Amino acid sequence: MGRAVCGGLMVVVSATMISAGQRVVTPEFRVAWTSAATASLLNNESPWWEAHYFNYGPTLYETEFRALWNNEGLYVRFDATDPNPWFTMTNRDDPIWEEEVVEIFLDLDRSGKNYAEIEISPNNVVTDVRMVSGMPDREMDLAWNLEGLESHVRLNKYRDGRTAGWTAVAFLPWEGFRSLPSASAIVLPPAPSNRWRFNVFRIKRPDGERRPTENVVFAAWSPPNGDSFHEPDVFRDLIFEMPAELAEP
């Protein structure tokens, strides 16, 4: 959804990707191939060791993003640092952007039209939206659902019992994207080296449900120019990497 920054803080950072222990500034993000099954990716740590990742947002509420892909779909993961995540909404397509969420926007045909928005709350409530267009003529279709979407959320704790944050993992099947008008201009599943456009976000409301509009942190990986996340012009490339078995020696 569009974000008014009044009364809050829009946090942006340089686009970075970390791979093999090195951090480099980059305008793009490469998604590694995985041979792991969907159930394993949703519930286990080890398949994610092969994923590239980057971090964004302020240190206290830093978010780490990872992604993987295979013939079945795209897998995304957010690790959100947060000493006190909260929620009240419980139904799919509730306006969870008014509380606390992680988000990804996926522009399949790079047109800035009919792109997918997927939001996940700390309670594993999902809101999925077809964004007909972004700013300045923002139009949304909340009735659209990404069919077959699966998600899992867990609360992370330190050894002393304090809350460290939460992790959200989602499976976004290629078949579910076919209902987007933009899918008619691309190949599904994607081919290696295909490029989509995307951005990821986080909304943290540190004053809780009693004062949800105060001191809000709106964190974006790729910085918007205005007061809304819905700026397709600042989306960055998401590149599907070649499976290792197909790569040239």
Instruction: Domain ranges for the chain, please list them.
Output: 8-246
Is pLDDT of 11 > 70? Answer: no
Has residue 10 got a pLDDT over 80?
A: no
Q: What pLDDT is recorded for position 159?
A: 95
For residue 241 the two structure tokens come to: 């990497």
User: For the whole model, what pTM was predicted?
Assistant: 0.89
Question: What are the structure tokens assigned to 183, written together?
Answer: 């899918």
Model confidence at 245, in pLDDT bands (50, 70, 90)?
Answer: low
In this structure, whether the domain defined by 8-246 belongs to CATH 2.60.120.260 is answered with: no
Q: pLDDT of 170-194, one tens digit each? A: 999 999 999 999 999 999 999 999 9
Residue with tokens 């939206």: 129
Mean pLDDT of the chain: 90
Contact 146, 177 (CB under 8 A): yes
Is 142 or 226 the better-scoring residue by pLDDT? 142
Cα radius of gyration (the chain): 17
On whether the CB atoms of residues 8 and 207 are closer than 8 A, the answer is no
Cα distances (Å, whole numbers) of residue 223 to 167, 231, 233: 23, 9, 10
pLDDT at 225 over 70: yes
Which range, of 23-27, 51-55, 103-107, averages the lowest pLDDT? 23-27
Whether residue 2 has pLDDT greater than 60:
no
Q: Is the dihedral of CA 56, 57, 59, 65 positive or negative?
A: negative
Per-residue confidence (pLDDT) for residue 246, from 0 to 100? 65
Closest residue by Cα to residue 170 from 53, 106, 76, 46:
76
pLDDT value, residue 247: 59
Residue of 143, 241, 125 whose CA lies nearest to 194: 241
Tokens of 247: 């790569």
Tell me the C-alpha distance between 242 and 76, whole Å.
18
Contact 186, 194 (CB under 8 A): yes
Residues 70-86: tens digit of each pLDDT? 999 999 999 999 999 99
